[in-house]
Amino acid sequence: MMKQILLLLVLMTCQSAALLAQFPGAAGTVGSTAIHKDSSIFTAWATNCIVVRGPQDIADTSLGYASAGLESMAVGQADGAQVVSLGDGGYAVTTFERPVANGPGFDFAVFENGFIDEFLELGFVEVSSDGINFFRFKATSNTQTDIQVGPFDYNANPTLMNNLAGKYRAMFGTPFDLEELNNIPGLNVNAITHIKVIDVVGSINPMFGTYDQYNQLINDHYPTPFPQGGFDLDAIGVIHQQPASLRENDDISINVFPNPFDDCINLIADHNIISIEITNHLGHLVYSKNESSIRKLSLPFLSTGIYFLKTTDTSGIAVVTKLVKH
């Protein structure tokens, strides 16, 4: 009788594991969706990156912020070596020469630098068609949440993860399909101008951890109290992009100075600005103005920090610029 019970428990455990292991596996395995950096499927790469770093350890901010890498290291083709580290909960916002578009199948892929299939650092992915309103791909993590994945544990299983950047090792991108976000109010999936990658804080402590679409804690390497902590963004490769003929005024530019600033900023543009919006690092609108030929802004009420300035001209063309307030 005892043997029968033990056999039943083993079978139930195997069945449960099989049910959870429902997503494509590691690069090179049958059914994997991993895309190598040299694949001809890529038509373009991110051309600009702005990073807001998170702490090395969200539970002990006295250690300071992640600092490894430069924003420019997330621009251009993936190489698996030069990356920018985001820290706990930090994020990167990338832009492109032409907007990413919703085509057949996957539309873009995010590259991290995990060195083996069993050591993966994860991130959420959000997209925007205006640089202000971002929408997240619904992520799933079925990794167990009883035992914390330590900073140097090698037990990741890609078949338990979906729509999480970093699911695949270095040199292989994790792809995303914009069709999943189609028909969301405020998002044009055929004109994605910004892609944001947000570090998953992998703690299973509910005070600090982050959750998937089912409100399950995501168990990821934690803590990572190093300058290289958190998600390491290597690149974002574009599979489908808006044709050049659909984009006007490719040569528009705006100069904002001083930046960083104290109270005021000046704007010099080669186009007629008719509206301005400033959002904080959380995407909340903190200032807006509609007026022709805006050239100077007084902003003494803004707190020290990072902001994003969106200027729109008479043609409806928008330009987003990072601002730093002393």
CATH number, domain of 283, equals 2.60.40.1930
Same domain, 265 and 234: no
Residue (of 22, 46, 18) closest to 173 by Cα position: 46
pTM here is: 0.73
Give whole-number Cα distances, 2 to 9, 111, 319, in Å. 11, 49, 70
Q: 3-state DSSP helix/strand/coil percent for the chain, to nearest 5?
A: 10, 35, 55
Q: Which residues of the chain have pLDDT under 70?
A: 1-21, 244-253, 270, 281-283, 292-293
Asked whether residue 188 falls in the same domain as residue 92, the answer is yes
Same domain, 192 and 261: no
| Same domain as 228, residue 124 | yes
Ramachandran angles phi, psi of 106, nearest 5°: -70, 150
The token pair at 211 is 């959750």
Instruction: Quote the CA–CA distance of 255 and 319 in Å, as a whole number.
Output: 11
- Is 18 within a domain? no
Question: Is the domain of 67 the same as that of 158?
Answer: yes
* Beta carbons of 221 and 149 less than 8 angstroms apart: yes
Q: Specify whether 207 is located in the same domain as 312.
A: no
Domain that residue 140 falls in: 30-244
Same domain, 154 and 277: no
Please state the domain count of the chain. Answer: 2
Q: Are residues 266 and 297 in the same domain?
A: yes
d(CA 131, CA 312): 12
Specify the length of the chain in residues. 326
Are the CB atoms for 167 and 79 separated by under 8 Å?
A: no
Say if residue 277 is in the same domain as residue 186. Answer: no
Q: Which two tokens stand for residue 81?
A: 């070596």
Q: Which residue among 209, 244, 279 closes a domain?
A: 244
Determine the 3-state secondary structure of 245 from DSSP: helix
Q: What is the pLDDT of residue 242?
A: 83
Please report whether residue 14 resides in a domain. Answer: no
**Cα-based angle 199, 202, 203 (whole degrees, multiple of 5):** 135
| Residue 293 confidence (pLDDT) | 64
Q: Which residues contact 112 (CB under 8 A, 6 or more apart)?
A: 83, 120, 121, 123, 165, 166, 168, 170, 174, 231, 232, 233, 234
Tokens of 205: 């402590």
Q: How far apart are the two ends of the chain, measured CA to CA in Å?
A: 73
229 and 255 in a common domain: no
Question: Residue 22: inside a domain, yes or no?
Answer: no
274 exposed, middle or buried (CB, 10 Å; 0-12, 13-18, 19+)? middle
Point out the domain boundary residue: 216, 244, 272.
244
Q: Which residues contact 96 (CB under 8 A, 6 or more apart)?
A: 44, 45, 46, 47, 193, 195, 238, 241
CB 102 within 8 A of CB 182: yes
What tokens were used for 278? 């400033």
Say whether both 69 and 188 belong to one domain.
Answer: yes
Given the structure tokens 């997209």, which residue do they identify?
Answer: 127
Residues 233 and 260 in one domain: no
